[in-house]
Copies of this chain bind each other. A is one copy, B any other.
Amino acid sequence: MVNGVPFPCSILEQAAHLADGVDNVVPIHPSPFKVACASCAVREVCLPLGFGADDLRRFDPLVARRRTVRRFEALYRSGEPFRALFAVRTGFFKSSLAPKCGREQVTGFQMAGEVLGFDGIASERHTTDAYALEDSQVCVIPYFELETLSRDMPELQRQLHRIMSREIVRDHAVMLLLGSMRAEERLAAFIANLADRLRARGFSGSRLVLRMTREEIGSYLGLKLETVSRAFSRLQEDGVLEVRQRHVTVIDAAALERIAHPLAN
Q: CB distance B219 to A100 under 8 Å?
A: no
A101 within 8 A of B: yes
Q: Does A40 contact B (CB under 8 A)?
A: no
Cross-chain contact A101 with B264 (CB below 8 angstroms): yes
**Interface residues of A, count at CB 8 A:** 50
Q: Which residues of chain A from 249 to 265 have any CB-CB distance to chain B below 8 Å in the complex?
A: 261-265
Of A43-51, A54-62, A113-121, A134-142, the stretch lying at the interface with chain B is A113-121
Q: How many copies does the complex hold?
A: 2
Tell whether, in the assembled complex, residue B147 and residue A151 are in contact, meaning their CB atoms are under 8 Å apart: no
Among A167-175, A206-214, A227-235, A237-245, the stretch that binds chain B is: A167-175
1/0 per residue A174-206: CB within 8 Å of B? 111011100000000000000000000000000
Contact B122 A169 (CB under 8 A): yes
> Apart from A122-B162, A122-B166, what are 13 other A-B pairs with CB-CB below 8 Å?
A99-B261, A99-B263, A101-B265, A102-B264, A107-B172, A119-B165, A120-B165, A121-B161, A147-B158, A151-B157, A171-B175, A174-B175, A179-B220
